[in-house]
Amino acid sequence: MSMTITLFQAALDPVSAGDFSFWSLFLRADWVVKGVMILLALASLWSWVVAIDKFIMFYMLKKRATDFEDTFWSGRTLDELSTALGNDTRDPMARVFAAAMREYNETGSVQRIGAESATHERIDSVMNLVINRELGKAERGMPVLATVASASVFVGLFGTVWGIMNAFRAIAASNNTNLSVVAPGIAEALFATALGLIAAIPALVFYNLYRADLERYGARLEGYADELSAILSRKLNKGG
């Protein structure tokens, strides 16, 4: 019975100077360092959730854009394409097209000289508004990756500094500079820095990758809008 109690107490005892497992380092840390570790773990998890969501989002955006471009350049007229598209505007390119065609159709036939230019400007303005709105949607979550990438290292360093201060206080209190006394506190402190790096590095990599994807997709949207604007401009100059 006494042996069982001893083993049970040993299992519950978080303080074991010779145990340097991650769990033991966490349990031995004081509440400030524990808070830093928990915060960094949550930040890392959050950045991974955002990164996976962005991976799926950009994959779908590229696939739908390719499908729409294939349909757009299939040889059908704009009116036929607008009718076939209907209310199916899941793709940002389709929404750009629908907005431009709606503005074009609402304008109707040109009634006076010089009205073509004003109509063309309104169409371009509408398409730019849609593009900006769609890029804003695609950018959601990117600030999370940027914040985790830039702040995690400093949060981890704060935990490290705090932990080292605690280790020095323990040394001063015990008047013992033996490695067995110093090592646990230093290890706990450095573990906070390691967690900061673990959170920051993937977030930084993902942010740079998705920022590049966003810029490429934005250029693709703007290129399509320029092509559509040129087509509609020719139709306006011909009087529809």
Q: What is the pLDDT of residues 161-216, one digit of tens each?
A: 877 877 777 777 766 666 565 666 677 777 888 889 999 999 999 999 999 999 99
Tell me which residues of the chain have a pLDDT lower than 50: 1-14, 16, 110-113
Q: Which of 16, 186, 14, 191 is nearest to 177 (CA)?
A: 186
HSE at residue 137, side-chain half, CA atoms within 13 A, is 11
Name 139's Cβ contacts closer than 8 Å, sequence gap at least 6. 214
pLDDT for position 22? 54
pLDDT attached to residue 217: 94
Domain residue spans of the chain: 28-237
Integer CA distances (angstroms), 219 to 18, 25, 65, 95, 150, in order: 57, 48, 12, 16, 27
CA–CA gap between residue 117 and residue 112 (Å, rounded):
11
Extract the tokens encoding 212.
């590049």
pLDDT value at residue 223: 93
Specify whether the CB–CB gap between 33 and 46 falls below 8 A. no
Distances, alpha carbon 81 to alpha carbons 91, 94, 108, 118, in Å: 14, 10, 18, 25
> For residue 121, which phi and psi values (nearest 5 degrees)?
-65, -40
